[in-house]
Amino acid sequence: MESKEHTLSILVENTPGVLSQVSRLFSRKGYNIDSIASGATEDPKVTRITIVMNGDDATIEQLAAQLRKLLCVISVKVLSTEDAVQRELVLVKVKAETKDKRDEVLQIVSVFRASVVDISRETLTISILGDENKAGALMDLLADFGLMEVVRTGIIAIERGVRTIYEDTKESGEFNYGKNVL
Amino acid sequence: MTQTISVLVENRAGVLNRITGLFSRRAFNIESLAVGVTDDKNISRITIIVDSGNNVVEQVEKQLNKLVDVIKVRTLDEKKLIGRELIIVKVSTSTKTRQDVANLCQIMGAKIADISSTTMTLELSDTPDRVDLFESLLRPFSILEVARTGVIAVQKGSGKI
Amino acid sequence: MKIRATQAIMECLLEQGVDTIFGYPGGTILNVYDELYRYQDKIRHILTAHEQGAAHAADGYARSTGRVGVCFATSGPGATNLTTGIATAYMDSSPVVFLTCNVTESTLGKDAFQEVDITGIAMPITKATYLVRDPNDIPDIIREAFAVAAMGRPGPVLIDLLKNVTGLDVMIDYEPLPKEEHQFHGRLADLRKRAGWDLTPPAPNSDDVDKLVELIAHSEKPMLICGGGVVRSRAHEEFRTLAEKLDAPVAITVMGGGGFPGAHPLTTGMLGMHGSRSSNMACDNCDLLIAVGCRFSDRVATDPAGFAKQAKIVHIDIDRAEIDKNVKTDHHIIGDARQVLQMVNDRIPSYQHPAWKEFVFSHRPKAPAESDILTPYQVLRTLQQMCPQDTIVATDVGQHQMWSIQHFHFDYPGQLITSGGFGTMGFGLGAAMGAKLGNPDKTVLHMTGDGCFRMNGQELATVSHYDIPIITVIFNNHTLGMVHQWQNLLYGGRFSQTDLNFAPDFVKLAEAYGVRGRRVTNQAEMTEAVREALDLGHAYVIECIIDTDETVRPMVSAGKPITEFLLD
């Protein structure tokens, strides 16, 4: 079957070991995660984990099914790239020892609508928000100046339109039943 | 006590599992975790914010250093770090409230990523505090869904990990 | 009321109706054992020879009684010795609560003496693990652990208590709560609310059942698979009704043994790698395959892509994650087997499929030949003729396991206790002990081989000490039989490291443990030995000397279609 990029949104109870339980399911089958981000939600007891990985549909569905069985998992949704808002935040520390170089970097930054978050005598730290392509293109350009550090958040995603992760479907009903089960 | 740890690791299956295991073993709660590849495709950088209670994370840092797949570990100085987080939030809106939400976005520097007749999806990247503020300001509009990346951080100035 | 934290542990076990615990004490769990001493008139503790034996015994107790088994062990090696037992229970969905203790909070994660991250180790082989750091959480966590172990698809859970939590001066608030009330309090209530589920299983989807009813109406060659889910949910009566109304042949998986009467005219026997010709041919030719509580393991669906290729496959399971995992299905119903089957039975008329049955049952195995040398068949036939029909059979793993399952007829859930999923050699003796202690009125046979027996044979000490009257039957072929068989058929007869011709004298070994034993080499001796064992009323070991080259038949190679028999 065709392997393509999938995004999994997972709501979990925020307790020690949750991330281990979730990441274990991926490593067990030897799947490498392209990106994972775990952050707070509107409920302090609940964390939302977003995972991007490559795989065929059946594999992803099986992973989602296994995730849903975990006691700590509240909800899982598989999103496709087309119907989700996907964003990533990148911080880049780049070398710019002279005024000329600084100016050049600042120009690039403004074209990309990125922002400078810190300046020192030799460096600029830049934050850029966007999808993977945008951050990649910026980094390619900045690479000429010398990238000192790159930190990415990993992608997070939310479905476009009115649908949310909380939606009740027959499948989520079956899995709620599965909760009973594990 | 909350601490921010940056870890550079080989980008392989199972690495994350090993790292999170070191925290759960000591019953430390990971508050936020962000993983992304660096400029080198084979290397990922993990930023972990951990609430270690009264215990120090020094021991965990040492253990992390011992892992074969870990390249570098650094606990960042809380006073000298630049932390940023990204939030995407979906709020329920009506024709009446849409403008209010848009104004709020403008004040906070957030962008509107998607809009439907009854919802707006917004994005903002800023310091964790400002992201918290943004989220709380949106609360009166009824939040449908929130996704946050977790915090990523670099040290201020020219120092690197 | 304020009571000691350790006392709360015992009270919570009593809330669950626990009467027997299998275990082994040690440093970090001393406080708990001290409390157990005070509760010894209410809770029986069986001290095994090794933690693994305790784990298997708790598992055997659970499988044979349908209740939750309980097992205690100390930190470090005590805990890791449990892991094979935990994994065995997990793979076969057996409800067991494992309770271990760990070092004190101040030394946690510092590689203290006998410290190990057992909750981390056990994560992949349990439904849930709990690290208890606050003594006030004890009642809540124990209640949740028991509920999680027993509900839905059952399985093991592990509770790890830090030693300081069990301090004998630690007092906590404890309010007794009847078991039915647990789900409305504390963590369980939170869990239910959050996930929107109930401890009593919700009703299966009615439309899904209707769709199956329609598929049944259009089927001319239906077939049923009786899986472990039928046993776990004790749905044997509903399953039997369905089979008879459908007039369909029934194949029984290893884990399904006891879910459908073994001697029923509709039974085709085992399915898959060592499945009967009838089962495998039926599976390959049916037009509707209804699999109940089975997960199409690689030992059943040896070739998942070509499995039941002419059939619409309908999967009835309690675990949604099993659907389409190994074999792609056409329809599924999620629910407890018993509830689903009841609904189906209520909605279907009776059918007759004489031609289809005639085809299926035309593939009869040929009768085994009589022999002067003792054969596995003679051993099994003798046991079957002389032991009561409701005898519980606990097996180890390998040739003797397959022979036992093929030959004996199991009529009720819990009658066959075997490590189907994990294939744990050394499982049988512990499991047989647990089964006998849970079912004191029934005869319990422990079927084993010379290889398996040596793995956990030290539990004979436990059997002897507690006077647990189990009859151990060792098929001694002086080799690791199943591996030997594969080497013979698939590895050109190169018997690499499978020769066990250096075993101890099993009869003397049994006697050393204080258990009577006898070696038999022919039919007459076998009959005498079984008579003696049954009359004795104490544990007994029968060592049956059989030929090294005896094989399990039929046999299909791994990865091959189930109709391509390597051995007939």
Residue of chain C minimizing CA distance to B22? C109
Tell me, yes or no, whether A149 and A89 share the same domain: yes
Q: What's A110's domain CATH number?
A: 3.30.70.1150
Given the residues C11, C15, C35, C51, select the one marked as catalytic.
C51
Residue C310 pLDDT > 60, yes or no? yes
Tell me, yes or no, whether A75 and A146 share the same domain: no
Least confident of A33-37, C164-168, C426-430: A33-37
pLDDT in tens, A94-139: 999 999 999 999 999 999 889 999 998 899 999 998 876 788 888 8
Tell me, yes or no, whether C182 and C72 share the same domain: yes
Tokens at C454, concatenated: 């040596």
Residue A179 pLDDT > 60, yes or no? no
Could you give the CA distance from residue A155 to residue A7 in angstroms, rounded to a whole number?
9
Q: How confident is the model at residue B59 (pLDDT cuts 50, 70, 90)?
A: confident
Cβ count near C304 (within 10 Å): 15
A180 with C127: Cβ contact below 8 A: no
DSSP string, A89-110: EEEEEEE--SHHHHHHHHHHHH
Tell me, yes or no, whether C174 and C226 share the same domain: no
- Cβ atoms of C39 and C208 within 8 Å: the answer is no
Q: What's C227's domain CATH number?
A: 3.40.50.1220
Residue C49 pLDDT > 90, yes or no? yes
Task: Return the ∠ at Cα C409 (arms to C405 and C413), rounded to 5°.
Answer: 85
Tell me, yes or no, whether C381 and C522 share the same domain: yes
Which pLDDT does position C166 carry in this prediction? Answer: 97
Least confident of B138-152, C28-42, C252-266, C461-475: B138-152
Tell me, yes or no, whether C283 and C343 share the same domain: yes
Which pLDDT does position B126 carry in this prediction? Answer: 92
- How confident is the model over B98-112, as a mean pLDDT? 94
Q: How confident is the model at residue C73 (pLDDT cuts 50, 70, 90)?
A: very high
pLDDT in tens, C313-354: 999 999 888 998 899 999 999 999 999 999 999 999 999 999
- Within chain B, how many helices (H) and strands (E) appear? 4, 9
Tell me, yes or no, whether A9 and A19 share the same domain: yes
Given the residues C482, C487, C506, C550, select the one marked as catalytic.
C482
Q: Report the number of distinct structural domains present in chain A.
A: 2
- How confident is the model over B127-156, as a mean pLDDT? 91
**Neighboring chain C residues of B59 at a CB cutoff of 8 Å:** 109-110
Residue C209 lies in a domain: no
Mean pLDDT is highest, among A37-51, B106-120, C25-39, C197-211, for: C25-39
The answer to whether A32 contacts chain B (CB < 8 Å) is yes
Distance from CA of C10 to the nearest CA of A (A): 25
User: Is C550 among the residues known to form the active site?
Assistant: no
Q: To probe the interface with A, which of C319, C320, C322, C329 has the most A CB atoms within 10 Å?
A: C320
The residue with greater pLDDT, C286 or A36, is C286
Which pLDDT does position C388 carry in this prediction? Answer: 97
Could you give the CA distance from residue A93 to residue B154 in angstroms, rounded to a whole number?
8
Tell me, yes or no, whether C143 and C225 share the same domain: no
Residue of chain A minimizing CA distance to B139? A42
pLDDT in tens, C401-423: 999 999 999 999 999 999 999 99
Q: To probe the interface with A, which of C121, C146, C194 has the most A CB atoms within 10 Å?
A: C194
The answer to whether C195 contacts chain A (CB < 8 Å) is yes
Residue C455 pLDDT > 70, yes or no? yes
pLDDT in tens, C141-167: 999 999 989 988 999 999 999 999 999
Question: C478 lies in which domain range?
Answer: 376-557
Given the residues C42, C105, C113, C214, select the one marked as catalytic.
C113
Tell me, yes or no, whether A74 and A94 share the same domain: no
Tell me, yes or no, whether A108 and A66 share the same domain: no
Tell me, yes or no, whether C403 and C468 share the same domain: yes
Residue B38 pLDDT > 90, yes or no? no
Q: Report the number of distinct structural domains present in chain C.
A: 3
Q: What's C445's domain CATH number?
A: 3.40.50.970
Helices assigned H by DSSP within C286-375: 337-347, 354-361
Residue C563 lies in a domain: no
Query: In the beta sheet, which residues pair with residue B67?
Result: none
User: Is C114 among the residues known to form the active site?
Assistant: yes
Tell me, yes or no, whether A96 and A74 share the same domain: no
The residue with greater pLDDT, C272 or B20, is C272
Q: What's A46's domain CATH number?
A: 3.30.70.260
Tell me, yes or no, whether A142 and A114 share the same domain: yes
Which pLDDT does position A43 carry in this prediction? Answer: 86
**Neighboring chain B residues of A153 at a CB cutoff of 8 Å:** 34, 36, 47, 84-86, 149-150, 152
Which pLDDT does position A170 carry in this prediction? Answer: 64
Within 63-122 of C, beta carbons closer than 8 Å to A belong to 119-120
Tell me, yes or no, whether C419 and C444 share the same domain: yes
Which pLDDT does position C171 carry in this prediction? Answer: 97
**Beta pairing, strands B152-155 & B81-92:** antiparallel
Which pLDDT does position C276 carry in this prediction? Answer: 95
Task: Return the ∠ at Cα B10 (arms to B6 and B15), rounded to 5°.
Answer: 80
- How confident is the model over C33-56, as a mean pLDDT? 98
Residue C241 pLDDT > 60, yes or no? yes
- How confident is the model over A79-89, as a mean pLDDT? 86
B25 with C133: Cβ contact below 8 A: no
Tell me, yes or no, whether A95 and A115 share the same domain: yes
Could you give the CA distance from residue C87 to residue C419 in angstroms, rounded to a whole number?
10
Which pLDDT does position A181 carry in this prediction? Answer: 47
What value does the mean pLDDT of chain C take?
95
Could you give the CA distance from residue C328 to residue C301 in angstroms, rounded to a whole number?
11
**Neighboring chain B residues of A144 at a CB cutoff of 8 Å:** none
Tell me, yes or no, whether A79 and A102 share the same domain: no
The answer to whether B24 contacts chain C (CB < 8 Å) is yes
Residue B137 pLDDT > 70, yes or no? yes
Tell me, yes or no, whether C167 and C242 share the same domain: no
Which pLDDT does position B1 carry in this prediction? Answer: 74
Tell me, yes or no, whether C147 and C25 share the same domain: yes
Residue C369 lies in a domain: no
- How confident is the model over C237-243, as a mean pLDDT? 98
In angstroms, the Cα distances linking A83 to A62, A159, A164, C229, C503 are 21, 6, 12, 39, 66
In angstroms, the Cα distances linking C73 to C54, C224, C329 are 9, 41, 42
Residue C346 lies in a domain: yes
Least confident of A52-61, C25-34, C305-314: A52-61
Q: A132-143 and A99-111 helices cross at what angle (nearest 10)?
A: 160
Tell me, yes or no, whether C247 and C319 share the same domain: yes
Within 93-132 of A, beta carbons closer than 8 Å to B belong to 93, 117-118, 120-123, 125, 127, 129
- Cβ atoms of C517 and C507 within 8 Å: the answer is yes
Q: How confident is the model at residue A182 (pLDDT cuts 50, 70, 90)?
A: very low
Which pLDDT does position A50 carry in this prediction? Answer: 93
Question: A144 lies in which domain range?
Answer: 85-156
Residue C200 pLDDT > 80, yes or no? no
Tell me, yes or no, whether C140 and C219 share the same domain: no
**Beta pairing, strands A147-152 & C565-567:** unpaired
pLDDT in tens, C166-193: 999 999 999 999 998 998 888 888 777 7
Could you give the CA distance from residue B124 to residue A87 in angstroms, rounded to a whole number?
10
- How confident is the model over C486-502, as a mean pLDDT? 94
Within 138-167 of A, beta carbons closer than 8 Å to B belong to 139, 143, 147-154, 156-162, 164-166
Which pLDDT does position C446 carry in this prediction? Answer: 98
C324: nearest Cα among C337, C305, C339: C305
Query: In the beta sheet, which residues pair with residue C289?
Result: C223, C313
Q: To probe the interface with A, which of C91, C334, C339 has the most A CB atoms within 10 Å?
A: C334
Tell me, yes or no, whether A148 and A164 share the same domain: no
Could you give the CA distance from residue A91 to residue A97 in angstroms, rounded to a whole number?
19
The residue with greater pLDDT, B75 or C9, is C9
Tell me, yes or no, whether A91 and A118 share the same domain: yes
Tell me, yes or no, whether A165 and A79 share the same domain: yes
Q: Domains of chain B by range and CATH?
A: 2-76 (3.30.70.260), 82-154 (3.30.70.1150)
Tell me, yes or no, whether C50 and C174 share the same domain: yes
The percent of residues in chain C predicted with pLDDT above 90, rounded, is: 89
Could you give the CA distance from residue B152 to residue B47 in angstroms, rounded to a whole number?
6
